[in-house]
Amino acid sequence: MVLRMWFFYTLLPLVTATIVPLGILLHGIRADVRDQSPHALETAGQSDWEPAAATHVRRARLVAGTVAGFFLVDLLWVGPFSGWFGGAPDYSPNWLPRILPVSIAAAAILVLVLLPSRSVGAGRVLTAEMDLQPRNLGSFGSPWWLVAWLVFAVALVLTVVLAGLVSSPDDEGRYSILIINLGSASARGDFLGWFYGVPLLCALGVLMVLTLLALWSIVRPTVAKRAARAVDIQLRRLQTRTVLSLSSGALLVTLGLAWTSIGFAGRMYIGTTFPGVGDVRVGSPLEAIAMPLWAAGFVVEGLGLALIMLPVFTRRIRVSSAVETPSTAPANANAIAGAGAGTERSEQWHS
């Protein structure tokens, strides 16, 4: 019995919260390393684009690392691993810890939106043409990233709403507990009810709006033309991946915490003895899915942490100049033409 409790309450959360993000990070880093092709620029634009590329990478690493640090502190001191440090979890009704991951990610994305982008100013030195190519929020990212982000948000909303419908009011009228009744006896436990769910839905709405604004601010400026187009697109891909990684990671961490909370409460039961009947045991209405939901919550948390930490390992974009001289004009012209063709082929999302 002790071994079983140790496996389910210590080993399983530790493995899923560490191995899962490490595996995903390794995959992301290997995919990023494979994309090592430099982007050729005209000499007039390199002085602007080189610091712009370095700034974007440093910004992505700094913001993602800061958010990941806040998330780890939240999970270790407030979340399900708080008992490892000698402190008992606080079960008093308080909705603030429930919205911390979403709020931290929203603040980080707000910082990214407010910080000016240098790539737009760099792009103007190479073109005065009108950009008539239609662009949308998914122009500089894989459609699957945007779809996955929406799926995570819908899953979190459905989880909160369904949990709120199952919840019950406590002695002060707050829908924050789950009650099981058996005759005159009853059992109750902390639960993700409307008391926690409504603030969480409000914070989720703020995160969604800021994420959409950030994506819009990325696609709105005119794309650079000619040789600088490849680097401009790559920088916007980096921005899009950073925003969606932070937002999706926050959604998954919050969803995982919600699932573990619901799964833990769903295993609650009440038992009593009736004369002539014997022992009677009644579980919660969520008992059938409690254990799978509880275990899946840790896996989802690990996936969320991996997405948040992925921008920390972003590789620096290498920018090389393409200087045209009279003796090498044909060769450089062919190289620039090839770079332009390669740019059109490379407009697929690189995770």
Convert the pLDDT of each residue in 88-125 to its tens digit. 444 555 677 778 888 888 888 888 877 655 544 444 44
Stretch among 57-66, 148-157, 236-245, 273-282 having the lowest mean pLDDT: 273-282
Which tokens hold the place of 272? Answer: 């009593």
CA distance 291 to 295: 6
H or E element at residue 314 = none
What is the per-residue pLDDT for 13? 58
Distance of CA 81 to the CA centre of its chain: 20
Q: How high is the mean pLDDT of the chain? A: 70
Strand-pair partners of 187 = 180
CA distance 247 to 239: 12
Mean pLDDT of 267-286: 71
Strand-pair partners of 188 = 179
Which tokens hold the place of 343? Answer: 């740019």
| pTM over cut 0.75 | no
Which tokens hold the place of 159? Answer: 């989880």
- Residues with Cβ within 8 Å of residue 136, at least 6 apart in sequence: 219
Nearest to 65 by CA among 315, 312, 316: 312
Pairing assessment for the beta strands 278-283 and 269-274 based on DSSP bridges = antiparallel
Q: Looking at the predicted structure, is the pLDDT value of residue 282 above 80?
A: no
pLDDT tens-place string over residues 16-64: 555 556 565 555 555 554 444 444 444 344 555 666 667 777 777 778 7
CA distance 62 to 345: 31
CA distance 281 to 287: 12
